[in-house]
């Protein structure tokens, strides 16, 4: 069974108005396909892929994506300009709409490999990498970074990172409004403990009006997105998009003035079924897909039963399409009982 639905691509000037963040172990190609059923206009980002993995590993596995995901950006982790250029060229050859350099992840893994957030201490190296990538490809080269790391305490130090990278040709900066402590805080703590500093991100847009500035960090609603869009060009949503994906169903109408692709959660399940069937036929385990949709019915009757049925059954070796259909049916039955109770 094949799935031929194609999203309408968003026009380039609005491309970064709403983005979904690269999230390790979460934003894989199955998850991005699911998100695309909820929003046609959001710009999607892959999980971070290191230059070393692409150069020495299974390149096809790391670069594989569904055509339906466009617009989709490949996020790279690395610091060597020659390696970054090589991988940027592959990104273009594979059809990605953008290649993004990770200068914001604070995990031990990136520190040991000299990439991610620690690159904020090396703005000239980042600038050299951006220039090499731009010379190697024609798709946009963007940078995602923090407002600072460790003892970078001033706005001027943030500008000291952005300015040389912009001079190298980067026109889009995705700015996480928390600084990162590379020592003493875990990646999870770095997402929660350092205070959010949205005014610094707003000021970047004021001081660099020709750059596209996208704000990231702590955003949990479309109302907050609209507030930020009064000050910057775009908003990037992370964990909230994964944990409460139905929020995405209003993105196209609320932020782009366009029709939403799905009118109900049930519509999304129905649209997902052919994709799941195709993936199962290709040997993919059901839970590799269904783990991404556990939050779809969050906040509605039957959500717990939906999550439990998938969690308890989708991982089994023989789990098939019927497991998802049964979980969907449990929700529908619970909703019918709730409506009947309300009517009574």
Q: How many CB atoms lie within 10 A of CB 210?
A: 7
Helix %, strand %, coil % of the chain (to 5): 50, 10, 35
Q: What is 228-287 written as a DSSP string?
A: HHTTSSEEEE-HHHHHSGGGGGGHHHHHHSS--S-SSHHHHHHHHHHHHHHHHHTT--TH
Residue pair 263/256 in contact by the 8 Å Cβ criterion:
no
Angle at 282 between CA 280 and CA 284, to 5 degrees: 55
Q: How far apart are CA 295 and CA 47, in angstroms?
A: 20
CA-closest candidate to residue 147, choices 199, 184, 108 = 199
According to DSSP, the residues that pair with 285 across neighbouring strands are none
> Which of 31, 105, 170, 225 is flagged as catalytic?
105
Query: Backbone dihedral region of 299: left (phi > 0), alpha (psi from -120 to 50 degrees) or beta?
Result: left
Residue pair 172/132 in contact by the 8 Å Cβ criterion:
no
Q: How many CB atoms lie within 10 A of CB 243?
A: 13
Contacts of 244 (CB under 8 A, 6+ apart): 295, 298, 299
According to DSSP, the residues that pair with 180 across neighbouring strands are 149
- Dihedral in degrees, nearest 10, Cα atoms 30, 102, 70, 273: 10
Report the chain's C-alpha Rg in angstroms: 21
User: Does the annotation count 105 as an active-site position?
Assistant: yes
Active site residues: 105
């Amino acid at each position: 069974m094949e799935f031929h639905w194609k999203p309408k691509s968003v026009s380039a000037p609005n491309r970064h108005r709403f983005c979904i963040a690269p999230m390790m172990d979460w934003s894989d190609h199955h998850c991005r396909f699911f998100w695309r059923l909820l929003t046609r206009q959001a710009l999607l980002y892959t999980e971070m892929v290191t230059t070393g993995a692409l150069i020495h590993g299974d390149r096809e596995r790391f670069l594989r994506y569904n055509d339906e995901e466009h617009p989709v950006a490949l996020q790279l982790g690395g610091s060597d300009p020659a390696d970054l250029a090589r991988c940027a060229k592959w990104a273009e050859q594979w059809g990605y709409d953008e290649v993004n350099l990770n200068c914001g992840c604070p995990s031990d893994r990136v520190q040991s490999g000299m990439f991610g957030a620690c690159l904020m201490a090396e703005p000239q190296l980042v600038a050299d990498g951006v220039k090499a990538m731009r010379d190697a490809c024609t798709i946009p080269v963007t940078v995602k970074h923090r407002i600072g790391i460790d003892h970078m305490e001033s706005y001027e130090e943030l500008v000291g990172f952005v300015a040389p990278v912009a001079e190298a040709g980067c026109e889009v900066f995705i700015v996480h409004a928390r600084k990162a402590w590379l020592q003493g805080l875990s990646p999870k703590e770095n997402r929660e403990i350092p205070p959010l500093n949205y005014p610094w991100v707003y000021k970047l847009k004021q001081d660099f009006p020709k750059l596209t500035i996208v704000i990231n960090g702590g955003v949990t609603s479309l109302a907050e997105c609209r507030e930020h869009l009064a000050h910057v060009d775009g908003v990037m949503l992370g964990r909230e998009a994964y944990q409460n994906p139905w929020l995405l169903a209003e993105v196209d109408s609320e932020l782009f003035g366009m029709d939403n692709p799905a009118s109900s959660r049930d519509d999304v399940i129905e649209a997902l079924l052919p994709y799941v069937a195709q993936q199962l036929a290709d040997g993919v385990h059901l839970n590799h897909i269904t783990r991404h949709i556990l939050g779809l019915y969050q906040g509605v009757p039957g959500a717990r039963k939906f999550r439990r049925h998938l969690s308890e059954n989708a991982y089994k070796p023989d789990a098939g399409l019927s497991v998802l259909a049964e979980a969907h049916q449990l929700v529908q039955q619970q909703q019918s009982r709730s409506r009947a109770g309300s009517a009574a």
